[in-house]
Amino acid sequence: MSRFPVENIRNFSIIAHIDHGKSTLADRLLEITGTISSKTDNKQVLDKLQVERERGITVKAQTASILYNYNDKTYLLNLIDTPGHVDFSYEVSRSLSACQGVILLVDANQGVQAQTVANFYLAFEAGLTIIPVMNKIDLKVADPARVAVQMENLFDTKEGEIIKVSAKLGTGADEVLKKVVDSLPAPVGSRDNPLKALLFDSWYDRYRGAILNIAMVDGSVSVGDKITSAHTNKSYDVKEVGIMHPEQTPTSTLYAGQVGYVIAGMHNIKEAQIGDTLYSAKHAVTPLSGFKPAKPMVFAGMYPIDKSDYVSLRSAVDKLTLNDSSVSVSIDSSPALGQGWRLGFLGLLHMDVFNQRLEQEYNAEVIVTSPSVPYKAKLLNTKANRHDYGQVDVITITNPTLFPDRQKVSEYYEPIVHGTIITPDDYLGKVISLCLSKRGEQMEFNYIDDKRVLLKYKLPLNEIVVDFYDMLKSATSGYASFDYEDAGFEPANLVKMDILLNGKVVDELATIVHREKSHDIGKAVCERLQETIPRQLYQIAIQAAIGSRIVARENIKAMRKNVLAKCYGGDITRKMKLLKKQAEGKKKMRKIGSIEVPKEAFIAVLKR
């Protein structure tokens, strides 16, 4: 690694809208530099997680170090492949802190999409050099001229600056690498200074503890060194250092400007704080500014399916949050579900992926209660409130069961986002009426070429978090794209809607809704629960209530289910199989009172 002084290093990310080809371009860059073999059929080698391969999306940023020979010099290029979906944008912003530049990739058929705009601004505001690249020029339907107009209108890029590539075929990939070397600045920093490194990602290894992904700002770090964490002030012996090549490849030392990993025997994973500064135990340094914590957009309770799994689930949640620091965790408990957590996520896809990773990577089975966006309430200055809430004036409600009654509150507030939609103008009418039905207010309307419009809307987060994206896609035959950013809180007329099963309130199914919409939502929720909860030995009444007023009701008829009824005659193994299957079905349910509720029911509450 000593062969690579800062002037021979370039650190960059590939950023783009979802599916515009980041991981495919990363594959080609790794192949043409001989980093991975070009003989095998490499597909998204940097999408290492099972969930990424199954869903075909990137959820984790991944680093790969590339050696690239150019102009009689060997350069060390550190490439970070990032996710495209808005729910994983925290991965993008953290990755950018380890980079001096980005490749902004735009699909030559789909053109600039909402996430392209969002990612462009992340890079622009971070002061990074941006290399505009147009991908998929091999497609028959590609329209590079139109896409170039969009890029000029939105990002002020001139047509001549755009590199046109086909990541699938490899066309133009070499030009991209040359441009990376020629136009991106080398990292600043010096190996003669004392060690200063930014911890920008980490993950847990069962045998070796936390593995820290670091960007070396100054100095060097070698096996055997003693390093200190600015966050905890604790010191550790460095056991291994190396680069992600893309697999972990040990080296003896890492120097200023390089990106790699360190293993330093951190077994308590809470010690590996993302954004921390690592320095030499001998030379304290001023810590780097780190990262703004992620701001969760939805909260949900999480409980083990089987109460006795609490301890192993706690350890799984701890380990997974080490790899996904955008999840916020606090302890929670519920009368029906026992001990668990209240987790905060950046969106529902994020929540879904987190659950799937818990199941796949840690073999943990969980129940997730209906997700809720965070609300606020300004409390009246009364003796009772001071007794219950202390001196606080405004409380944040992340759990509907803690929603304070109207008589305690002077104003409720709901979270607001600024949404960006890009759509062909044929669908404008449908898009605008969808936004109106979601209580949206238009803020901006601009043509980005002669057919496509960029719309900005102020929208309540609660209205868009569940199915807005799906509705937008179906209203526009899949052509519109959507991205949003947090825009604070605004006053709203909110009520808590309880769900009763056979007359008993089930806390875990409560939601907070807008008063005007409570009837419609109550009806829809009861219908959904009716579809989701299986028939049981007795009739079940499902009711939605605001306070003591019932706003909707559905029934589930009783049924006696005997799985062996069909199985007359002898084969005992077949009987055992059926009984086992039934038992497994039961395991995924949770008893609330005397009613078996499947885990899907908790999510069904939110869908409308």
Among 45, 57, 238, 336, binds ligand GTP (CB under 6 A): 57
Residue 291 makes CB contacts below 8 A (sequence gap 6+) with 93, 94, 97, 200, 274, 275
Please choose, out of 13-21, 203-211, 429-437, 524-532, the segment that lies near ligand GTP by the rule CB under 6 A. 13-21
Q: Which is nearer to ligand GTP, 116 or 398 (CB)?
A: 116
Please choose, out of 19-27, 304-312, 544-552, 556-564, the segment that lies near ligand GTP by the rule CB under 6 A. 19-27
Residue 307 to residue 293: CA distance in whole angstroms: 31
> Which residue stretches of 499-588 are H helix?
518-532, 572-587
User: How many Cβ atoms are within 10 Å of 489's Cβ, its own excluded?
Assistant: 17
Binding flag, residue 481, ligand GTP (CB under 6 A): no
Residue 114 to residue 485: CA distance in whole angstroms: 11
User: Is residue 20 a known part of a binding site?
Assistant: yes
The tokens describing 350, both together, are 């994020």
User: How many Cβ atoms are within 10 Å of 22's Cβ, its own excluded?
Assistant: 26
**Beta-strand pair 9-16/101-107:** parallel
Please choose, out of 22-30, 121-129, 491-499, 507-515, the segment that lies near ligand GTP by the rule CB under 6 A. 22-30
Q: Which is nearer to ligand GTP, 166 or 251 (CB)?
A: 166
Q: Tell me the CA distances in angstroms from 99 to 11, 30, 180, 237, 259, one per residue in order.
A: 5, 18, 12, 27, 9
Residue 216 to residue 222: CA distance in whole angstroms: 12
Binding flag, residue 84, ligand GTP (CB under 6 A): yes
User: Is residue 160 a known part of a binding site?
Assistant: no
The tokens describing 104, both together, are 């902004």
**Interaction residues for ligand GTP, span 165-224 (CB under 6 A):** 166-168
The tokens describing 190, both together, are 């010096």
Site residue total, ligand GTP (CB under 6 A): 20
Q: Which is nearer to ligand GTP, 32 or 550 (CB)?
A: 32
Among 4, 83, 454, 522, binds ligand GTP (CB under 6 A): 83
Among 33, 119, 135, 385, binds ligand GTP (CB under 6 A): 135
Binding flag, residue 136, ligand GTP (CB under 6 A): yes
Show the binding pattern over residues 147-166: x = contacts ligand GTP (CB under 6 A), - = does not. -------------------x
Please choose, out of 132-140, 342-350, 501-509, 537-545, the segment that lies near ligand GTP by the rule CB under 6 A. 132-140
Evaluate whether 225 touches 238 at the Cβ level (below 8 Å): yes
Q: Which is nearer to ligand GTP, 141 or 331 (CB)?
A: 141
User: Is residue 23 a known part of a binding site?
Assistant: yes
Binding flag, residue 20, ligand GTP (CB under 6 A): yes
User: How many Cβ atoms are within 10 Å of 41's Cβ, its own excluded?
Assistant: 7
Evaluate whether 480 touches 421 at the Cβ level (below 8 Å): yes
Binding flag, residue 42, ligand GTP (CB under 6 A): no
Evaluate whether 444 touches 489 at the Cβ level (below 8 Å): no
| Length of the chain as a residue count | 608
CB of 91 to ligand GTP, least distance (A): 10
Q: Which is nearer to ligand GTP, 176 or 366 (CB)?
A: 176
Q: Which is nearer to ligand GTP, 136 or 350 (CB)?
A: 136
Can you tell me which residue has the tokens 């001549």?
A: 160
**Interaction residues for ligand GTP, span 336-375 (CB under 6 A):** none
Evaluate whether 496 touches 403 at the Cβ level (below 8 Å): yes
User: Is residue 5 a known part of a binding site?
Assistant: no
User: Is residue 185 a known part of a binding site?
Assistant: no
Closest CA to 9 of 162, 275, 215: 215
User: Is residue 426 a known part of a binding site?
Assistant: no
User: Is residue 239 a known part of a binding site?
Assistant: no
Residue 92 to residue 96: CA distance in whole angstroms: 6
User: Is residue 22 a known part of a binding site?
Assistant: yes
CB of 353 to ligand GTP, least distance (A): 11
User: Is residue 82 a known part of a binding site?
Assistant: yes
Residue 501, sorted as left (phi over 0), alpha (psi -120 to 50) or beta, turns out to be: beta
The enclosing H or E element of 150 equals helix 144-155
Binding flag, residue 323, ligand GTP (CB under 6 A): no
Binding flag, residue 60, ligand GTP (CB under 6 A): no
Residue 27 to residue 45: CA distance in whole angstroms: 6
User: Is residue 93 a known part of a binding site?
Assistant: no
Binding flag, residue 22, ligand GTP (CB under 6 A): yes
Residue 101 to residue 180: CA distance in whole angstroms: 8
Residue 52 makes CB contacts below 8 A (sequence gap 6+) with 44, 58, 59, 60
Please choose, out of 17-25, 346-354, 418-426, 599-607, the segment that lies near ligand GTP by the rule CB under 6 A. 17-25
User: Is residue 566 a known part of a binding site?
Assistant: no
Backbone angles phi, psi at 286, to 5 degrees: -75, 125
Among 1, 9, 19, 599, binds ligand GTP (CB under 6 A): 19
Evaluate whether 46 touches 77 at the Cβ level (below 8 Å): no
Among 24, 110, 213, 220, binds ligand GTP (CB under 6 A): 24
Give the nearest residue (CB) to ligand GTP. Answer: 84
Site residues (vs ligand GTP, CB under 6 A): 16, 18-24, 44, 57-58, 83-84, 135-136, 138-139, 166-168
Residues of each annotated binding site for GTP? 16-23, 81-85, 135-138
Residues of each annotated binding site? 16-23, 81-85, 135-138
